[in-house]
Each structure stands twice: as structure tokens, then as C-alpha cells.
Amino acid sequence: MANFNKVTIADNARTELHDQLSLTGAEISINHLPAGASVPFVHAHKNNEEIYGILEGKGKAVIDGETVELSAGDWLYAAPAARRRFFAAEDTPIRFICVQVKANSLGDYTKEDAIVD
């Protein structure tokens, strides 16, 4: 198991996988907001961009004052400086994944980075 880690997560409001998976290049969190709830703060980052994937439910994000409606299957990119806050719909919870990585750090990817046996 030296080259991989596996965890099973509980149904918590927020689970950060950085420590659980020993990540070195990204932070990944699984987030759940009950119907009518919101993340209690607006935030941005100094260096990290975030990619959000909506896994279940619906809600919205307010990014730099603009409202973006969200539902299962949507993916959203937020630049580091984007000021953002997330809300579940009044009648529906929302579950989403957030992948946080340093902006402009991706070199090779997919087949360019692969070593095929």
C-alpha cells in the first residue's frame, strides 16, 4: 500500500481528504449543505484555484457578486481571487466536491504524464 491510499468517508458536513489520503499536490473536500443552509463565509485564495463538482441536489454559488445556479452534474471553476460563497436550495440539500490546486501548476497531464507498461 506504499503507492496508494484508500479511505471511506462518513456523511459529514465537510470532509477534507488532504491528510486522510496523504495528498501532496491538491486538497479535496466533500461538502454537504442541508436544504436552506449555506457556507457561513465568503472566501478567496492567494494561490489556489478551485474546481467544484455538484454530486447531488441543487443550490447556488455567489461569485464576485454574480449568482450561479447549480445542480447535480454541474462543474464550476473559481480562480484564486474569485470571492465565493455556496448555498443549498431552500427545499433541497446539495453535496459537492471541491478540488483545490495551485493555479498554473499543471505541467504534463493525462497521456503526456503517463508511463504505459
Domains, the chain, with CATH or none: 30-104 (2.60.120.10)
Global pTM?
0.91
Q: Given this model, what pLDDT does residue 92 score?
A: 98
Question: For residues 86 and 63, is the Cβ–Cβ distance under 8 A?
Answer: no
Average pLDDT over residues 37-43: 96
> Quick one: which of 37, 14, 12, 36 has its CA closest to 100?
14
**What letter represents residue 73's amino acid?**
G
Q: Helix (H, G, I), strand (E, B), or coil: what is residue 56?
A: strand
Average pLDDT over residues 17-23: 92
Distance CA 22, CA 25 (A): 10
Q: Which of 12-16, 79-83, 88-92 has the lowest average pLDDT?
A: 12-16
Query: What are the start-end ranges of the H helices in the chain?
Result: 18-21
478540488: which residue's cell? Answer: 99
pLDDT tens-place string over residues 45-74: 999 999 999 999 999 999 999 999 999 999
